Amino acid sequence: MGVKDRRVLQIIKAMLKAGVMDECEVNEEGTPQGGLISPLLANVYLDIMDEWVSKQWETKRTQYQYRKPQDKAPLKKTALIPGYLVRYADDFVIVTDTRAHAESWKVRLQAFLQSKMKLTLSPEKTLITDIRKKYIKFLGYEYKVVRGKGRRGYIPRTIPDRNRLKKNAL
Protein backbone atom coordinates (compact mmCIF):
# COMPACT_ATOMS: atom_id res chain seq x y z
CA MET A 1 0.00 0.00 0.00
CA GLY A 2 1.47 3.32 -1.08
CA VAL A 3 1.54 6.63 0.74
CA LYS A 4 -1.37 7.94 -1.35
CA ASP A 5 -3.49 4.87 -0.49
CA ARG A 6 -2.79 5.33 3.22
CA ARG A 7 -3.79 8.99 3.02
CA VAL A 8 -7.05 8.11 1.27
CA LEU A 9 -7.80 5.50 3.94
CA GLN A 10 -7.03 8.04 6.68
CA ILE A 11 -9.40 10.54 5.09
CA ILE A 12 -12.16 7.93 4.78
CA LYS A 13 -11.61 6.84 8.40
CA ALA A 14 -11.79 10.46 9.58
CA MET A 15 -14.98 11.03 7.60
CA LEU A 16 -16.58 7.92 9.10
CA LYS A 17 -15.71 9.00 12.65
CA ALA A 18 -16.70 12.63 12.12
CA GLY A 19 -19.53 13.76 14.32
CA VAL A 20 -22.99 14.66 13.19
CA MET A 21 -23.84 18.38 13.49
CA ASP A 22 -25.95 19.15 16.55
CA GLU A 23 -25.93 15.45 17.58
CA CYS A 24 -22.49 14.10 18.54
CA GLU A 25 -18.79 15.00 18.41
CA VAL A 26 -17.57 11.56 17.31
CA ASN A 27 -19.59 9.00 15.37
CA GLU A 28 -19.00 5.43 16.55
CA GLU A 29 -21.82 3.89 14.50
CA GLY A 30 -20.49 4.10 10.94
CA THR A 31 -21.63 6.19 8.00
CA PRO A 32 -24.06 8.98 8.93
CA GLN A 33 -27.31 9.02 6.94
CA GLY A 34 -26.96 11.64 4.23
CA GLY A 35 -23.23 12.01 4.80
CA LEU A 36 -20.98 12.93 1.89
CA ILE A 37 -19.12 9.64 1.98
CA SER A 38 -22.21 7.42 2.22
CA PRO A 39 -22.95 7.21 -1.55
CA LEU A 40 -19.26 6.67 -2.32
CA LEU A 41 -18.96 3.76 0.10
CA ALA A 42 -22.25 2.26 -1.10
CA ASN A 43 -21.02 2.40 -4.69
CA VAL A 44 -17.72 0.75 -3.80
CA TYR A 45 -19.34 -1.99 -1.72
CA LEU A 46 -22.28 -2.70 -4.04
CA ASP A 47 -20.09 -2.96 -7.15
CA ILE A 48 -19.98 -6.70 -6.34
CA MET A 49 -23.77 -6.84 -6.61
CA ASP A 50 -23.68 -4.92 -9.91
CA GLU A 51 -21.33 -7.48 -11.43
CA TRP A 52 -23.38 -10.41 -10.16
CA VAL A 53 -26.65 -9.02 -11.57
CA SER A 54 -24.98 -8.26 -14.91
CA LYS A 55 -23.57 -11.79 -15.17
CA GLN A 56 -27.04 -13.25 -14.65
CA TRP A 57 -28.31 -11.76 -17.92
CA GLU A 58 -26.59 -8.85 -19.71
CA THR A 59 -23.05 -10.23 -19.79
CA LYS A 60 -23.89 -13.91 -19.32
CA ARG A 61 -21.28 -16.10 -21.00
CA THR A 62 -22.85 -18.69 -23.25
CA GLN A 63 -21.54 -21.41 -25.54
CA TYR A 64 -22.98 -19.70 -28.61
CA GLN A 65 -21.21 -16.58 -29.92
CA TYR A 66 -23.72 -13.87 -30.83
CA ARG A 67 -23.02 -11.62 -33.81
CA LYS A 68 -23.34 -8.51 -31.66
CA PRO A 69 -22.85 -8.41 -27.88
CA GLN A 70 -26.02 -6.28 -27.56
CA ASP A 71 -28.12 -8.88 -29.44
CA LYS A 72 -30.29 -10.30 -26.66
CA ALA A 73 -32.89 -11.96 -28.91
CA PRO A 74 -31.23 -15.42 -28.74
CA LEU A 75 -30.96 -15.15 -24.94
CA LYS A 76 -34.73 -14.69 -24.72
CA LYS A 77 -35.14 -18.21 -26.12
CA THR A 78 -33.24 -19.68 -23.16
CA ALA A 79 -34.31 -20.36 -19.56
CA LEU A 80 -32.32 -17.31 -18.40
CA ILE A 81 -34.28 -14.64 -16.57
CA PRO A 82 -33.89 -11.15 -18.06
CA GLY A 83 -33.04 -8.33 -15.71
CA TYR A 84 -31.48 -4.89 -15.92
CA LEU A 85 -30.12 -3.14 -12.83
CA VAL A 86 -30.51 0.61 -12.31
CA ARG A 87 -28.70 1.75 -9.16
CA TYR A 88 -27.60 4.94 -7.41
CA ALA A 89 -25.70 4.36 -4.17
CA ASP A 90 -27.88 1.94 -2.17
CA ASP A 91 -31.13 2.61 -4.07
CA PHE A 92 -31.81 0.32 -6.99
CA VAL A 93 -34.43 -1.30 -9.19
CA ILE A 94 -34.22 -4.40 -11.35
CA VAL A 95 -36.33 -4.23 -14.48
CA THR A 96 -37.63 -7.51 -15.88
CA ASP A 97 -40.51 -8.71 -18.05
CA THR A 98 -42.88 -10.76 -15.86
CA ARG A 99 -44.03 -10.98 -12.24
CA ALA A 100 -42.64 -14.53 -11.99
CA HIS A 101 -39.24 -13.28 -13.16
CA ALA A 102 -39.39 -10.41 -10.66
CA GLU A 103 -40.11 -12.82 -7.82
CA SER A 104 -37.23 -15.04 -8.96
CA TRP A 105 -34.87 -12.05 -9.02
CA LYS A 106 -35.97 -11.06 -5.51
CA VAL A 107 -35.28 -14.54 -4.09
CA ARG A 108 -31.95 -14.97 -5.90
CA LEU A 109 -30.73 -11.45 -5.07
CA GLN A 110 -31.64 -11.86 -1.39
CA ALA A 111 -29.70 -15.14 -1.27
CA PHE A 112 -26.69 -13.56 -2.99
CA LEU A 113 -26.68 -10.48 -0.75
CA GLN A 114 -27.02 -12.60 2.40
CA SER A 115 -24.36 -15.18 1.54
CA LYS A 116 -21.74 -13.02 -0.21
CA MET A 117 -22.20 -9.59 1.34
CA LYS A 118 -24.00 -10.17 4.67
CA LEU A 119 -26.78 -7.75 3.65
CA THR A 120 -30.56 -8.09 3.64
CA LEU A 121 -33.22 -6.43 1.51
CA SER A 122 -35.63 -4.13 3.33
CA PRO A 123 -39.08 -5.79 3.29
CA GLU A 124 -40.78 -2.35 3.33
CA LYS A 125 -38.81 -1.08 0.34
CA THR A 126 -38.51 -4.27 -1.70
CA LEU A 127 -41.61 -4.15 -3.88
CA ILE A 128 -42.65 -5.87 -7.09
CA THR A 129 -44.60 -3.46 -9.28
CA ASP A 130 -46.03 -3.62 -12.79
CA ILE A 131 -45.06 -0.16 -14.06
CA ARG A 132 -47.70 -0.36 -16.78
CA LYS A 133 -50.30 -0.13 -14.00
CA LYS A 134 -48.68 1.76 -11.13
CA TYR A 135 -45.90 4.29 -10.59
CA ILE A 136 -42.70 3.35 -8.76
CA LYS A 137 -40.80 5.89 -6.68
CA PHE A 138 -37.07 6.05 -7.30
CA LEU A 139 -34.58 8.83 -6.53
CA GLY A 140 -37.20 11.51 -5.98
CA TYR A 141 -39.23 10.72 -9.09
CA GLU A 142 -42.21 8.58 -10.01
CA TYR A 143 -41.82 6.31 -13.03
CA LYS A 144 -44.41 4.52 -15.11
CA VAL A 145 -44.84 3.39 -18.72
CA VAL A 146 -47.96 4.27 -20.69
CA ARG A 147 -49.25 3.30 -24.11
CA GLY A 148 -47.54 5.32 -26.78
CA LYS A 149 -45.53 5.26 -29.97
CA GLY A 150 -42.52 3.40 -28.55
CA ARG A 151 -41.02 0.32 -30.24
CA ARG A 152 -43.01 -1.97 -27.98
CA GLY A 153 -46.10 0.21 -27.71
CA TYR A 154 -45.11 2.00 -24.49
CA ILE A 155 -43.31 5.21 -23.56
CA PRO A 156 -41.92 6.24 -20.16
CA ARG A 157 -43.66 8.82 -18.00
CA THR A 158 -41.58 10.47 -15.30
CA ILE A 159 -42.78 13.07 -12.80
CA PRO A 160 -41.30 14.49 -9.58
CA ASP A 161 -42.43 12.61 -6.47
CA ARG A 162 -45.81 14.20 -5.63
CA ASN A 163 -45.44 13.57 -1.88
CA ARG A 164 -42.12 15.43 -1.83
CA LEU A 165 -43.63 18.30 -3.81
CA LYS A 166 -46.47 18.58 -1.28
CA LYS A 167 -44.03 18.56 1.67
CA ASN A 168 -41.87 21.26 0.07
CA ALA A 169 -44.93 23.40 -0.73
CA LEU A 170 -45.94 23.55 2.94
Burial of residue 53 (number of CB atoms within 10 Å: 0-12, 13-18, 19+): buried
pLDDT value, residue 4: 76
pLDDT value, residue 111: 97
* Alpha carbon distance 147, 25 (integer Å): 54
The alpha carbon torsion through 54, 57, 60, 63 (nearest 10 deg) reads 180
Provide the residue-wise pLDDT of the chain in tens; the chain has 170 residues: 677 778 877 877 777 666 665 566 555 555 666 667 778 888 888 999 999 999 998 787 777 666 555 566 666 677 788 899 999 998 999 999 999 999 999 999 999 999 999 999 999 999 999 999 999 999 999 999 999 998 889 999 999 999 888 888 77
pLDDT value, residue 138: 94
pLDDT value, residue 34: 66
DSSP lists the bridge partners of residue 20 as 24
